[in-house]
Amino acid sequence: MRVSASIRNCRVQGCAGDVPAPLSLELLCVDHYIEQAFSRLQDALELCQQCRAVDAHALDWLLGDADFAVQALAQDGRSHTSAQRDKLLELLLNLSNLHEYLRHHSVTARLAD
């Protein structure tokens, strides 16, 4: 059983998923938010692997993704499905790996032009 304080439906075409209050600015359901977070993470990892600077704003978004994941996992177990919780944990692990990569390599963050 999923319990969620929904504001409206997800903005992704064809998705009728509920948008939880913490995602009201993004207008995304949890599944699409996680999908988008993984996409941002993959983009940052690719830049790191190419020894290119990672945009500071993208890093801020990723930090927000980590905050959301921690808050979502801290809720009682009924707010998200087990698959969503697994994806949130995977996202946190991958964000941690990115952080460690940035810490140990000469990749820098840059402000967008």
Between the CA of residue 61 and those of 5, 8, 39, 57, 69, what are the distances in Å? 23, 22, 11, 6, 12
Residue 15 lies in a domain: no
Dump pLDDT digits (tens) for 13-43. 999 999 988 888 889 999 999 999 999 999 9
Structural domains in the chain (count): 1
pTM of the predicted model, to two decimals? 0.78
pLDDT tens for each residue of 65-101? 888 888 888 876 667 888 999 999 999 999 988 888 8
- Whether 50 is in a domain gets the answer yes
Q: Provide the 3-class DSSP secondary structure of residue 103.
A: helix
**Average pLDDT value for residue range 41-47:** 90
Mean pLDDT throughout 40-56? 86
Expressed as residue numbers, the domain containing 102 is 30-110
